[in-house]
Amino acid sequence: MPQNPPLLAVTGSTLVLAAPPRIAPPPPSRRVRDERPRPVRPARVWTPYALLFDLPGARGFTTGNLIARLPMGMFGISAVMMIAGQRGSYALAGAVTATGMAATAVVGPWTARLVDRHGQARVAVPATVIAVLGSLSLVLCVRTQAPAWTLFASYAATATTPNIGGMARARWNHLLPPEARHTALAFEQAADELCFMLGPVLAALLCSVWFPEAGTLIGAVLLLTGMLVFTAHRATEPPAGGTPTTRGPSPVRVLLPLLGVLLATGIVFGSMEVTSVAHLAAQGLGAASGPVLALQAAGSCAAGLLYGALRPRPLPVCLLALAVAMALPWAAAGSGSLALLALALLVAGVATAPVMVTAMALVQRVTPEGRLNEGLTVAVTAILAGIAAGSATAGQAVDHLGTTTAYALPAAAALLALSVCAVWRPVHPVGAIAPAGE
């Protein structure tokens, strides 16, 4: 008995020291879950896009981005249907929309420069308001039978519309390290394809089922709403770039070789669309034009998402695949089979997404710091100029050479883009020379 107190004392001391593991040991499953919470989630392995939207504010600004981007595919067809329906002239409608595109080519880079200098929210919101007022003015002038020049002036005012896709890419560039930006760029390219696939369909439906001005009015509401949601997420906004003297050389000078590649790629897009519409109409299948072109855009959208989950490829490899794919519609057109042509256009659409994702990554890489939105807008302007040139050239080819031969134009433009890239050495802002197609 006398030995009990020392024994109890020793035992008590031992119990105190050993109490945490012996009395209430945590379950093994809980201990593993606490120590390694993220690697055990399979969604992170199979869906790298989930990592993008884990970033605070990413879901919010992406929602606004998609809402504001959808009208980009609506305004052109809405204006054509509204003006032609009220004035009875497709020539006037085409001239008005062409004027708007030309004004955008001039005003767009200037607006983007202001965005880089002063910040997205400070510039994008008032610029969007001006563009929306231009759309409302166009509706009013068409409705009241105002002189034709008022239509040109109203539609030209919409050129202040900010490049929402460029601003979204600038945010990803600000939020993500370089090794994680490939997936974000692929997502943005897929969003472009989706919006330009659904936009014309929605616009045509609104103008046909409701009234001719419905497409323009709904598009204006979506643009303003989406831009307000996008700019409300200020925490994800990249900082302003400062004054011109501190923001490096002009993006046009730095991007000039790459702009040639993008211009030729735009010719591919414009000529393919016009040639496909003309070919199907000549075959008595004009009603199939919309679904077939939508299939091409869907292929590009799906390929963009898949490409974002894979390792990026050099630009020459992507352009080579594009050149091969663009030869398929040319071959299928001679067969007279709608199914073969649709399949060929689907494959051609799949080949376009890697080109655009890789090219935009290069634009982001070589654009001087603080002028990214301007550089992206200049790149988009080059693509739009190529689309316009490709559409006009394809129209001439269809009239003089026939629709089957006109399919050679997209293939030739893809080869031209590959040739320009083969001799291109992108110059980085610091003056270093990178290998072609880096």
C-alpha distances (whole Å) from 252 to each of 259, 260, 391, 424 are 8, 11, 24, 15
Q: Residue 315 pLDDT more than 50? A: yes
Q: Is 167 exposed, middle or buried (0-12, 13-18, 19+ CB in 10 A)?
A: buried
φ, ψ dihedrals at 427, nearest 5°: -95, 120
Binned at pLDDT 50, 70 and 90, residue 414 comes out as very high
Residue range 352-366: mean pLDDT, rounded: 85
- Max CA pair span of the chain: 118
Q: Which two tokens stand for residue 298?
A: 């869907």
- Residues 6 or more apart whose Cβ sits within 8 Å of residue 240: 116, 117, 118, 119
Q: Residue 371 pLDDT more than 60? A: yes
- Residues 6 or more apart whose Cβ sits within 8 Å of residue 355: 265, 315, 318, 319, 322, 417
pTM (2 decimals)?
0.71
φ, ψ dihedrals at 119, nearest 5°: 105, 155
Q: What is the pLDDT of residue 277?
A: 76
Q: What is the pLDDT of residue 314?
A: 86
CA–centroid distance for 391 within its chain = 20
- Angle between helix 181-209 and 58-69 (nearest 10): 40
Using an 8 Å Cβ cutoff, are 62 and 168 in contact?
A: yes
Q: Which two tokens stand for residue 250?
A: 């002009």
Q: Which two tokens stand for residue 212?
A: 């001719």
Q: Residue 420 pLDDT more than 50? A: yes
Each residue of 121-158: pLDDT tens digit?
A: 889 999 999 999 999 999 999 888 888 899 999 998 99
Query: What is the number of other CB atoms lying within 10 angstroms of the CB of residue 316?
Result: 19
Q: What is the pLDDT of residue 138?
A: 92
Q: Where do the domains of the chain lie, and which CATH numbers do they carry?
A: 54-246 (1.20.1250.20), 248-428 (1.20.1250.20)
Q: Give residue for tokens 């609104």.
A: 206
Q: Give residue for tokens 């997936």.
A: 183
Residue range 317-335: mean pLDDT, rounded: 90
Q: Residue 107 pLDDT more than 90? A: no
Distance CA 268, CA 327 (A): 11
> Taking the chain, what is the end-to-end CA distance rounded to the nearest angstrom?
85
Q: Which two tokens stand for residue 414?
A: 């893809």
Q: Residue 178 pLDDT more than 60? A: yes
Using an 8 Å Cβ cutoff, are 248 and 117 in contact?
A: no
Query: What is the number of other CB atoms lying within 10 angstroms of the CB of residue 400?
Result: 9
Q: Is 311 exposed, middle or buried (0-12, 13-18, 19+ CB in 10 A)?
A: exposed
Q: What is the pLDDT of residue 319?
A: 92
Q: Which two tokens stand for residue 46?
A: 């199979």
Residue type, 290: G
Each residue of 374-402: pLDDT tens digit?
A: 888 888 888 888 887 887 788 788 888 88
CA–centroid distance for 67 within its chain = 13
